[in-house]
Amino acid sequence: MSFIVLTEKDIEALVKAVKLGEEIKPSQQAKRDVFKEYGISGTYKDRILTAIYYDIWRRIGIIDRIASEITNIPNIAILDPWLRAALRVAIEILVFERFIKEARYRDSKDLFVKYFKRRIAKVLSDNTHPYVGAYFWEVVDKIAAYKWIPKTLSEKWEYRYMVSQLIINKLLNLVGVDETRKILKEFNKVYPISIRVNILKSSVEEVEEELRKNGVKPERGKYVPTILKFKGPYDFDNSSLFKEGKIVIQEEASAMASIVLGPKPGETVVDLCAAPGGKTEHMGELMNNEGVIYAFDIDELRIKRMKELLSRTGIKIVKIFKEDARKAPDILGEEIADKVLLDAPCSSSGTIMKNQELRWRITQEKIDELTQLQFELLETAIKLAKKGGRILYTTCSLFREENEDVIQKILTKYRGRLRLVSLNGPFDQGFIPGTMRAWPHRHGTYGFFYALLEVL
**Residues with catalytic annotation?**
396
C-alpha 366/C-alpha 374 separation (Å) is 12
CB 103 within 8 A of CB 93: no
Quickly count: other Cβ atoms within 10 Å of residue 148's Cβ: 14
Strand-strand pairing, 418-421 and 436-438: unpaired
> Residues, the chain, total?
456
Q: Assign 3-class secondary structure to the chain.
A: CCHHHCCHHHHHHHHHHHHHHCCCCCHHHHHHHHHHHCCCCCCHHHHHHHHHHHHHHHCHHHHHHHHHHHHCCCCHHHCCHHHHHHHHHHHHHHHHCHHHHCCCCCCHHHHHHHHHHHHHHHHHHHHCCHHHHHHHHHHHHHHHHCCCCCCCHHHHHHHHHCCCHHHHHHHHHHHHHHHHHHHHHHHCCCCCEEEEECCCCCCHHHHHHHHHHCCCCCEECCCCCCEEEECCCCCHHHCHHHHCCCEEECCHHHHHHHHHHCCCCCCEEEECCCCCCHHHHHHHHHCCCCCEEEEEECCHHHHHHHHHHHHHHCCCCEEEEECCHHHHHHHHCCCCEEEEEEECCCCCHHHCCCCCCHHHHCCHHHHHHHHHHHHHHHHHHHHHEEEEEEEEEEECCCCHHHCHHHHHHHHHHCECCEEEECCCCCCEECCCECEEEECHHHHCCCCEEEEEEEEC
- Show Cβ contacts of residue 311 under 8 Å, excluding neighbours closer than 6 positions: none
Q: At what angle do helices 108-115 and 130-145 cross, to 10 degrees?
A: 170
Beta bridge partners of 340: 270, 391
